Amino acid sequence: MMESGKRKNGKRRWISTGSRVQGASHIRNGQPCQDALSIKRDKDYHVISVSDGHGSSQCPYSDEGAKAAVEVAYFVFDSIFKGRGDPFQNFVANKDIWIPKQIEQNWKSMVTLIHGTRPVPFSYELYGATLLTLVVANDFIFALQLGDGDILSIEPISTDGNQEDESQKKTQVDWVIPPDIRIGSETESLCQTDAWQYMKARIIPLGPEDTAPMFLLSTDGYANSFNSNEGFKQAGADFYNLWEEEGLSFIDDNLEGWLMESSAQGSGDDIAVALVKEAVVGN
């Protein structure tokens, strides 16, 4: 754990990584990977997005819809940072309506352009995809979610005096945006009319003394590879402990293999996973 006062110039620095793999069943059926992953790193903020193209017969171009989703998310959030005024205040003021509407509108414009002159009559449904985005900045975290998937926060449980219990390495794992109870496989999608209305957003300020948790974003192919929510949350805790003990390069070297294994032994679905953690000065 990083102690307060150790940040370079008082600025928080982030490290992020991720991978996406073609699902085991998609490989068998000759389907492309319909999940998209985007990690954009600026010196002051990272914008991390995953998207799950629906992949059904009604959505034959959903892999492109998913790519468009993660690109649009970066475009919208980056424009807020590059705009005038305090980004935190701009996110607070716009998180519920303007940002969701911008994402929907820009995604719909982009897939319309992508479709171009394809012979199939155009509909947004052809490109249907979810979107999960996490923006991590110096003084806040912003999360946005449309449809299935998970954004987890993972942090050590502090004992008295905020000392981490090294012998136990206990972690607290929470959903940043609590999941809906859902029956069946229908998910909310960017292709819906008024998709913005279904987006959920949360902003969490970070004070100078706060140490941010680690975050995990994943498309639903990952959580569905576990037998229970507890098993999935344990995977989040394991990532945290591996990062602490083995370092980022160990995760980078193995992540793709772990995800392929999860898909093969679990959901069979495509999986996109991203991890982001506050950097400790020196690493």
Residue 55: CB minimum distance to other proteins, A: 27
Q: Residues 36, 70: contact at Cβ < 8 Å?
A: yes
Strand order in the sheet with 271-278: 14-21, 271-278, 214-218, 150-156, 171-175
Q: Which of 42, 165, 186, 210 binds other proteins (CB under 8 A)?
A: 210
Q: With contacts defined by CB under 8 A, name the span among 1-9, 109-117, 196-204, 240-248 that binds other proteins.
A: 196-204
Q: Is 10 in the site for other proteins (CB under 8 A)?
A: no
Q: Is 172 in the site for other proteins (CB under 8 A)?
A: yes
Give the whole-angstrom CA distance, residue 62 versus residue 68: 9
Please state, in angstroms and as integers, the Cα–Cα distance from residue 178 to each residue in 24, 104, 144, 145, 148, following that order: 28, 22, 11, 10, 11
Q: Which of 4, 6, 42, 86 binds other proteins (CB under 8 A)?
A: 86
Q: Is 160 in the site for other proteins (CB under 8 A)?
A: no
By CB under 8 A, the residues from 109 to 148 that bind other proteins are 141
Total interface residues for other proteins by CB under 8 A: 35
Residue 265: CB minimum distance to other proteins, A: 29
Q: Which of 1, 42, 93, 163 binds other proteins (CB under 8 A)?
A: 93
Residue 10: CB minimum distance to other proteins, A: 15
For residue 96 the two structure tokens come to: 């519920």
| Nearer Cβ to other proteins (27/98) | 98
Q: Which of 4, 89, 168, 229 binds other proteins (CB under 8 A)?
A: 89
Residue 30: CB minimum distance to other proteins, A: 38
Q: Is 1 in the site for other proteins (CB under 8 A)?
A: no
Give the whole-angstrom CA distance, residue 225 versus residue 208: 37
Q: Is 32 in the site for other proteins (CB under 8 A)?
A: no
What distance lies between CA 25 and its chain's CA centroid? 23
φ/ψ of residue 8, rounded to 5 = -70, 125
Q: Is 153 in the site for other proteins (CB under 8 A)?
A: yes
Q: Residues 72, 144: contact at Cβ < 8 Å?
A: no
Q: Is 211 in the site for other proteins (CB under 8 A)?
A: no
Give the whole-angstrom CA distance, residue 38 versus residue 17: 10
Q: Is 205 in the site for other proteins (CB under 8 A)?
A: yes
Give the whole-angstrom CA distance, residue 59 versus residue 54: 6
Contact residues for 182 (Cβ-Cβ < 8 A; gap 6+): 148
For residue 147 the two structure tokens come to: 């449809």
Q: Which stretches of the chain bind other proteins, using CB under 8 A? A: 79-80, 82-86, 89-90, 92-94, 96-98, 101, 105, 141, 153, 155, 172, 174, 176, 178, 194, 197-198, 202-205, 207, 209-210, 213
